[in-house]
Amino acid sequence: MSLSDLPIETAVHPRPTGARPRLRLSDRALAPAIEHAALTPEVVRAPQVVFESRDVSVNYGEKRAVEHISMDIHRNKTTALIGPSGCGKSTFLRCLNRMNDSIPGFRLGGELLYHGHNLYAPQANRVEVRRRIGMVFQKPNPFPKSIHDNIAWAARNLGMRDNVDERVERALRAAALWDEVKDRLKSSALGLSGGQQQRLCIARAIAIEPDVLLLDEPASALDPIATASIEDLIHELKVTYTIVIVTHNMQQAMRVADRTAFFSLDETRIGTLIEYSDTDKLFSRPADTRTHAYITGQFG
């Protein structure tokens, strides 16, 4: 059964008719990723699609930022978005958890599906979207709170009030930060180094058990040692999470990503997806001449 066989209405987003079953997700929704990851071997063989982008374009007012982006992003894989600056890779990434919504004039064309649900459907809840699809930004942005509270804050909001300390510890361990900060959980997060701050932001994001982690050039503001620790972390996290990472560092993409998408400007100077395939294929046997030119350092 292919996509085009389905009536669009059902495939894209169930219209809010009276008959639509209203799903109240309780505890199950809190850890969908973990639950599904432990499924039968078939799951591993056939990649499950988390995001499906169908001819997505983005406009800011009159200005078109990206267009014609069609790609599938697979579960429990790390997908890298690379390309020269200004090619729209970050813009596209921020569409995946609707971080662009508050930018004046933002408009999304095409369709962006998350497990088959239209992310931009009227009934899609923006806060719910972000709770399931976490994001870590280019600049580390810890809150001016203690290390502990940085992690516990969102979890508490979400009602995960039991065993907060345990949750904090688990998140910090998962972000490979626990040993460095376990003795000063009550001190300000602003006293951490840049690399530690970024790992704290990752810990903060995974503490609320999202399904997907979006990383927007997470290591670009860090020194090589901190970068290496972040990359190690990405390898560990993809067992549990689906990761999409924007980077302008091709070596980094090669090191961490299973799949890589190359973005560039098209002939009308608008960002678009040029090529998308397995990482080793994209870097060893690029199908497009522009990809080849970019990865061999001829531009960008």
- Least Å distance between CB 42 and another protein? 7
CA angle 37, 40, 42 (to 5 degrees): 100
- The residue (of 208 and 295) whose beta carbon lies closer to another protein is 208
- The residue (of 50 and 256) whose beta carbon lies closer to another protein is 50
- Least Å distance between CB 297 and another protein? 23
Residue position matching structure tokens 């894209």: 12
- Least Å distance between CB 226 and another protein? 6
- The residue (of 43 and 108) whose beta carbon lies closer to another protein is 43
- The residue (of 81 and 202) whose beta carbon lies closer to another protein is 202
DSSP labels, 24-86: ---HHHHSHHHHHHTS-HHHHHSPPEEEEEEEEEEEETTEEEEEEEEEEEETT-EEEEE-STT
- Least Å distance between CB 80 and another protein? 19
- CA-wise closest residue to 133 among 220, 73, 84: 73
- Least Å distance between CB 6 and another protein? 7
- The residue (of 135 and 237) whose beta carbon lies closer to another protein is 135
- Least Å distance between CB 268 and another protein? 29
- The residue (of 143 and 178) whose beta carbon lies closer to another protein is 143
